[in-house]
Chain A
Amino acid sequence: MDTLKESPSPCSSRHNSPRPAPCEMPATVGIEAVLDQLKIKAMKMGFEFNIMVVGQSGLGKSTMVNTLFKSKVWKSALPGPGVPTPQTLQLHSVSHVIEEKGLKLKLTVTDTPGFGDQINNDKCWEPILGYINEQYEQYLQEEILITRQRHIPDTRVHCCVYFVPPTGHCLRPLDIEFLQRLCQTVNVVPVIARADSLTIEEREAFRSRIQKDLKSHCIDVYPQKRFDEDPNDKILNSKIRERIPFAVVGADQEHVVNGRCVLGRKTNWGIIEVENMAHCEFPLLRDLLIRSHLQDLKDITHNIHYENYRVVRLNESHQLPRGPGWVNLAPVSLASTSAGQVTTSGPSKAHKRAQEEPKYEF
């Protein structure tokens, strides 16, 4: 077992563009030290990351997760070979704490066995959407408490990896439906699963067809073009967008190739090395998800997807659940200004009235 191999992190090589200095001063004030302070604070608090993998059974989702995080994420026997596929869609969530170089990461992986496996897959995305929205709801409830915690536990799904079966043709209607609906709510990263069944040419053709399909159906996968702010980010993200969806192969067994120990799949005609860019694009996926865009995934989830959910939620006033000891706060004085009584379903009635055309009396 050899020592931990370090592949270069693309994050550190990315440098910020020089900004026009509004007021330059000699570096004796020490404002720079705030960066270290931030780092220390972050290390102390630890990080959270929630990832969801969606795809039909047998596409290698669990293996992929194990490969990504280089550990046995799934302990119990999931529906695998020999176990009958579940009759309904289930959501299976595990949380682990992984530590690297003193940094703690609480990783939550949600699997969706049974997705797309039934004969009638109508509305199979609804349980998934429901789960995602429920996490947003939990966060919202915590956020609007009067006495709230210092650090709200974040269970919102930061990234959803969608596994596209390697048919080689184009996206199936199920894929398109799912992607369309989920891209509005969560960051979706589509990948071509089991890419070892495609040759390089087939892979490129498949990829371009998928990209065309995505464009024609207006599906905005991560990294979303409309959220690019920095010119540096734009360039980086354009490069990534050219390669989406990544063709990946997952493996959690090690083999010896040329004296090195690599993760790979052994077949009669060769060993497919997972971390070899010439064989598959797994390193790109890993870099995107973990090494360079993890914080960005979380930020977009928090600043955009969660905010969108919140806007919708807070506008549906009459659907808010009532907690214990709920008291009708609609003040009686309202009745005097507007004609008619304001009852407990006041907001919706008043809203309707406001929308009516005002009648003018002369």
Chain B
Amino acid sequence: MKGIIVMNEELRNLSLSGHVGFDSLPDQLVNKSTSQGFCFNILCVGETGIGKSTLMDTLFNTKFESDPATHNEPGVRLKARSYELQESNVRLKLTIVDTVGFGDQINKDDSYKPIVEYIDAQFEAYLQEELKIKRSLFNYHDTRIHACLYFIAPTGHSLKSLDLVTMKKLDSKVNIIPIIAKADTIAKNELHKFKSKIMSELVSNGVQIYQFPTDEETVAEINATMSVHLPFAVVGSTEEVKIGNKMAKARQYPWGVVQVENESHCDFVKLREMLIRVNMEDLREQTHARHYELYRRCKLEEMGFKDTDPDSKPFSLQETYEAKRNEFLGELQKKEEEMRQMFVMRVKEKEAELKEAEKELHEKFDLLKRTHQEEKKKVEDKKKELEDEVNNFQKKKAATQLLQSQAQQSGAQQTKKDKDKKNPWLCTE
């Protein structure tokens, strides 16, 4: 472009001679976010009855509506439910995804598949939105899973092979936080052994669980101390028991009361700290910056590397867009053709129908005409008969009248003679 000289001086640090005021930037940023609200999506993977719903209820201090699942599911199904929570002025759109029927089948080979498919589907939806030409990312309801709580059964021995396989499949797609469920069934000394066994198994199998970030000074310390207690042994309860002089969430047994929020009883408080109070934002960021980017890269390479030589250099997305556009236009044209053909077919059909109808109508008309003529003929015949009868009758009538009149005349003469005879005065002797 003519006449543009863009001179960029070196980046240097300036010293301010007064208060400028941009230290309010984090507040501005936070104000924006609070007005939009936050999204947080948790996936709970674990066997039926291991306490997933109860733990969610306990974590968020709310009774989420749900019925306990049955053990008769034919396969693993993912059930997602969204809730809107609010705490002071922070709105949270929480989505809890449950694996229904996990671990119930006899053959569990494919148990992990629906889970992986669900996670991928959420990434796909986001990717599609991002690739759209006209998109609205800033008010997109993010459904990507930010944290996966993997519920380990409290056997006290080691991880089940189902657990290892599932976690291995999920570790590159989601932040996994393993927890030991129903931890009140394990004794303290066994718990320590169990935890170290689990962690060493995870390491030896190369399962990458979520690492609490230790690069930021404010959270490094707390994250480091908490990481030592992984996997967290939790107990969930929504019922409250009176302890001392206040009510606390606990489970009451004949031999004692397990307090959920007592750190010496279970690690629930640690889980809540790590999941919500300290690392929620980092979980969201890791999901977006690492897992989603990985998915996106793989998906785009998949789309972009079709029909090319294996040794061509990687190219950017523009070509993929062109290909997508070609595809799209081709599809449009195909659809157009199809629609056109369908239209033509429909018109022909309609025409045939109409012809049929026309023929029928003609036939009907003919039939009616014929019937009408027949009826007419009948009526005429009858009319003729009637006329004949009338004529005959008239003739007969005329004849009888004549006879009658003749008879009357002669009769009248006779009666006169008789009458005269009888009348003495008229008798001429």
Contacts and interface: CB of A to CB of B under 8 A. Distances in A.
Nearest to B329: A350
B22 interface: yes
B86 A24 contact: yes
Interface in B299-347: 300-301, 304, 306-309, 312-323, 325-327, 329-330, 332-334, 336-337, 340, 343-344, 347
B86 A150 contact: no
A134 B309 CA distance: 33
Interface residues of A, number: 119
A71 B326 contact: no
Contacts of B374: none
B326 A347 contact: yes
Contact of B21 (A88, A147, A290): A290
Interface size class on chain B is 35 or more
Contacts of B2: 88, 127
Interface in B1-54: 1-9, 11-35, 38
A299 interface: yes
A26 B86 CA distance: 10
B11 A37 contact: no
Nearest to B348: A362
Interface string A287-318: 10011111110010011000100110011010
A49 to B, nearest CB: 8
Among B28, B60, B282, B313, residue most surrounded by chain A Cβ atoms (within 10 Å): B28
A322 B323 CA distance: 13
A170 interface: no
A362 B344 contact: yes
A116 to B, nearest CB: 13
B283 to A, nearest CB: 10
A69 B280 CA distance: 35
A146 B14 contact: no
Contacts of B329: 347, 350-351, 354
Interface stretch (A11-19, A157-165, A210-218, A265-273): A11-19
Contacts of B91: 19, 22
A147 B29 CA distance: 27
Nearest to B275: A30
Contacts of A317: 321-322, 325
B338 to A, nearest CB: 10
Given A23-B85, A290-B22, A89 B347 contact: no
B418 interface: no
Interface in A1-38: 1, 4-7, 9, 11-12, 14, 16, 18-19, 21-35, 37-38
Contacts of A38: 26, 29-30, 33, 281
A243 B289 CA distance: 42
B315 A23 contact: no
A144 to B, nearest CB: 4
B28 A294 contact: yes
B87 A31 contact: yes
B214 interface: no
Contacts of B319: 322-323, 326-327, 329
B153 to A, nearest CB: 27
A9 B21 CA distance: 7
A235 interface: no
B30 A37 contact: no
B21 A286 contact: yes
A71 B17 contact: yes
Contact of A94 (B9, B16, B301, B309): B9
Contact of B23 (A71, A103, A360): A103
B89 interface: yes
A325 interface: yes
Among all A-B residue pairs, the 7 with the closest Cβ atoms: A88-B3, A325-B313, A37-B281, A329-B323, A295-B28, A30-B277, A22-B84
7 contacts: A22-B85, A25-B85, A69-B20, A96-B12, A141-B316, A146-B314, A325-B314
Given A38-B26, A350-B326, 4 more contacts: A25-B86, A31-B280, A91-B5, A103-B25
Interface of B: 1-9, 11-35, 38, 59-62, 83-92, 133-138, 216, 218-219, 272-273, 276-282, 285, 289, 293, 296-297, 300-301, 304, 306-309, 312-323, 325-327, 329-330, 332-334, 336-337, 340, 343-344, 347
Interface of A: 1, 4-7, 9, 11-12, 14, 16, 18-19, 21-35, 37-44, 47, 49, 68-73, 75-76, 88-103, 105-106, 126-127, 130-131, 141, 144-148, 150, 230, 263, 286-287, 290-296, 299, 302-303, 307, 310-311, 314-315, 317, 320-327, 329-331, 334, 337-338, 342, 346-347, 350-351, 353-354, 358, 360-362
